[in-house]
Amino acid sequence: MGVSFLPDRALKENVSHEVNSIQEKLSRLSMEQKVFQEATGNSSARQSVQQAVKQIAGYLLALACLIWVFHDIQLHRVWVNISSMNWLLVAGAVGCDIVSYVCQGLRWHLLLHRTGPTTTMRAVHAIYAGLFTNEILPMRVGELVRTYLISRWLSVPFISIIPSVAVERLFDGIWLGIGFVITAAFIQVPENITDAAQTVGVGALVLIGLFLYLIVVRRKTNDAVIKQNHDRGWQPLRLLKSFFVHIADEIQVLGTSRYFYFSFLVSSLMLILQILAFCLIMWAYGLQLSVWAGAAVLLFLRLGTVLPNAPSNVGTYQFLCVVGLTFFGIEKTVATGFSVAAFIILTVPLWALGFIAISRSGMTLQQIRTDIRVMMKKY
């Protein structure tokens, strides 16, 4: 029986052809990888530029606000008014402000009951660490810092904490709208603040509608249909959809718990304490305005600082405070002095307690920010 062998020359040609084919494939893969890296690098560069532009815009806005606030005022009167404040009322204001953050810790503790075992004071610890970050860094990155700390302490994924923070913002928006409506019912609010109140009211209704959709309507939607819809389209868009679907699912589960409604009521206590702290400083400074006028100015201030800007909201805080007080007939020099006093009185305790919170977290702020960047890349 004869056995036929492929001639050596034919064998070499066949092997050479396969090697060339493999080399071409490797070359194409290398080119694709290079293009991908260049695109990723360009994307990262664009994001860095956009972030830098936002920060510069925030600082420029703060500078413009401060220039307007301190233009054409009598500085010696500002110092006289600050030095003659009632410091007993100031101490009461600081106490109310601190208790309001304890209430926020209680609220967050209630919302986190499904995620893992935590305590109110542990949540307050993370909140103050985030507040300290917001006081020294722009764009309100403190929200990420407190989320990271809680996820680290509970040993749970970072993304699992985000729904509770989203619900907090939902509650804040709703109570801000309710606060405007109640205040407008007890005092004649200036037209500009009324317009702002109407805007917030519409926003609150939208937030309530979104919540009802997540709790009632979306629950009835077939999960298979949702998954099928999310499996279509461009991959980055699918990933973004997947992220928001996860958040929506978690919010839906939170909304079916009794802790959800307890935390909603606690949110009202937070706002009341913040209004009281603001009014105590107002009275300590010698401003003879009602609690409703103080509430209107604070709510206007809260609305105006919703969007992230310079650290501590410096500049915009003073600007909005002066504008709000002048609506109620307060002279600009007096309003400017109060805006400075209120800013210092409410901010210095945040710096002190926030610094302690960061120090006791077992990490430096730089380490926390580095870990957050690494985790955000995963998502």
DSSP string across 214-256? IIIIGGGS-HHHHHHHHTSS-HHHHHHHHHHHHHHHHHHHHTT
Could you read off the pLDDT tens digit of each residue along the chain, which spans 379 residues? 444 444 455 545 555 555 566 556 556 555 545 544 454 445 556 666 777 777 788 888 889 999 999 998 998 999 999 999 999 999 999 999 999 999 999 999 999 988 888 999 999 999 999 999 988 887 788 999 999 999 999 999 888 898 899 889 889 988 988 898 899 888 887 776 677 667 767 777 787 777 777 666 655 554 544 555 555 555 556 656 666 676 677 777 777 788 888 999 999 999 999 999 999 999 999 999 999 999 999 999 998 888 777 788 899 999 999 999 999 999 999 999 999 999 999 999 999 999 999 999 988 888 888 888 887 766 5
Helices 162-186 and 87-111 sit at what angle, rounded to 10 degrees?
130
Determine the pLDDT at residue 224: 47
Residues in the chain: 379
Domain ranges of the chain: 1-71, 74-378
CA triple 84-86-92, angle to 5 deg: 150
How many Cβ atoms from other residues are within 10 Å of residue 340's Cβ?
20
Q: Supply the pTM of this predicted model.
A: 0.79
Contacts of 350 (CB under 8 A, 6+ apart): 128, 131, 132, 135
Contact 339, 322 (CB under 8 A): yes
pLDDT the model gives residue 204 = 72
The string of DSSP letters for 17-44 reads HHHHHHHHHHHHHHHHHHHHHHHHHHHH
